[in-house]
Amino acid sequence: MYPFLKGHGTENDFVVLLDPDGTVHGDLAPERVRALCDRRAGIGADGVLRVIKTIAYAPEQAGEAEWFMDYRNADGSVSEMCGNGVRVFAQFLLASGLVTGDGEIPVATRDGLKIVYAAGDGLLQVDMGAPKLLGTTEVGLGDHRWTARHVDMGNPHAVAFVDDLDPRGSLGALLEAPWYDPALYPTGVNVEFVLARGERHLAMRVHERGSGETRSCGTGACAAMVAAADAAGQTPASVGGDLTYRVDVPGGVLAVTWTVDDRVLLTGPAVLVAEGETDL
C-alpha cells in the first residue's frame, strides 16, 4: 500500500505520488501509471505527477529547486512538461507544507526550471518560458485536413484553427488520435483545435499524446495563444506591451500572457480533491 492524492487544473486531472527519495516507486513503471490512470479499474487521471527530490532524480538541477516534477502521461510514457500539472504540483507542495506560500515556488522539470506564483483568488501562475514558433504543418481527422502551426512550449504542439468545435461535427469526440507527420513529430504531438470567439478570446479542444482528448491542456493553451497572436500579426513587441488572451477549455478558463520579454505566463486554478491509499 502507498499513499496518493488526486487533483486537477481546469479538470485536467492527475494522480499525485509523494516519493521524496525515489524508493517507493523506483523507476515508476509504465504499467503502474496505466493502472493508476485507468478510469474504470483505477483511480482515473490524465497522468501521474511524482513529487521527488531533485537531488534524487535530476541532481544537475538540484541547485535550482528542491522538488522535481516527474510527469507521466496516462499511457505510462514520459512527458517533458505539463502546464496544468505543474500548478497542481505546486498546490500539493503548498498544502503539504513542503514549501511556504511566500513568493515564488521553484519546480524542476524535464523542460528546466519553472517558477510558480500565487495569483490570488485561488489561482496559480506559472512562467512557462519562451515560446518557439516553428513553421506550419498539417493535421487531420478522417477525411478532414487542417493547416496547423507548430509551436514548442517545452513539448510539441500542432495548433489548427477551425470553424466549429462541435463533437458532432468534423472533430467528433477525438477518440482517435489525429493524423500528423511522424517524421516531424517522432515522439508524437499534442494537437489543439482552436476557435476564435472574440478579441483575444479563444476556445479549444485538445488531443494529448499519451492521454487522448482531455478537458484541458496548459501548454496547449499557451501554444494556441501564441499561434493566434502570430496569426493576427501581433507580438508583444509590435503592440508595445504584454498580450493576454482568455482560453476557454472544456474544463474551465485559463489566462495566457505573452510578455514583452518573450515569456509565456499561464494562470489558472489548481485543486486537490482526494487522498487515500492504494496497492495499484
Q: Residue 101: pLDDT above 80?
A: no
- 8 Å CB contact between 245 and 110: no
pLDDT tens column, 28-76: 999 999 999 999 999 999 999 999 999 999 999 999 999 999 999 999 9
Which cell is 278 given?
492504494
Task: For residue 168, count other CB atoms closer than 10 A to its CB.
Answer: 8
Amino acid sitting at position 178 = P
pLDDT tens column, 180-236: 999 999 999 999 999 999 999 999 999 999 999 999 999 999 999 999 999 999 999
* pLDDT, mean over the chain: 96
What is the set of active-site residues?
82, 217
- Asked whether residue 254 falls in the same domain as residue 144, the answer is yes
- Asked whether residue 258 falls in the same domain as residue 137, the answer is yes
- Asked whether residue 252 falls in the same domain as residue 137, the answer is yes
- Asked whether residue 96 falls in the same domain as residue 169, the answer is no
- Asked whether residue 137 falls in the same domain as residue 253, the answer is yes
- Asked whether residue 175 falls in the same domain as residue 53, the answer is no
Going by the DSSP 8-state scheme, the letter that residue 45 receives in this structure is -
- Asked whether residue 253 falls in the same domain as residue 198, the answer is yes
178 exposure class (CB count in 10 Å sphere: 0-12, 13-18, 19+): buried
- Asked whether residue 178 falls in the same domain as residue 87, the answer is no
Task: For residue 244, count other CB atoms closer than 10 A to its CB.
Answer: 14
User: Which of 40-54, 119-133, 164-178 has the lowest average pLDDT?
Assistant: 164-178
Q: Residue 124: pLDDT above 90?
A: yes
Q: Report how many domains make up the chain.
A: 2
d(CA 162, CA 159): 10
Q: Structure pTM?
A: 0.95
- Asked whether residue 54 falls in the same domain as residue 10, the answer is yes
pLDDT mean over 96-118: 92
CATH number at residue 46: 3.10.310.10
- Asked whether residue 176 falls in the same domain as residue 162, the answer is yes
- Asked whether residue 18 falls in the same domain as residue 76, the answer is yes
What is the pLDDT at residue 233?
95
Domain span at residue 210? 132-262
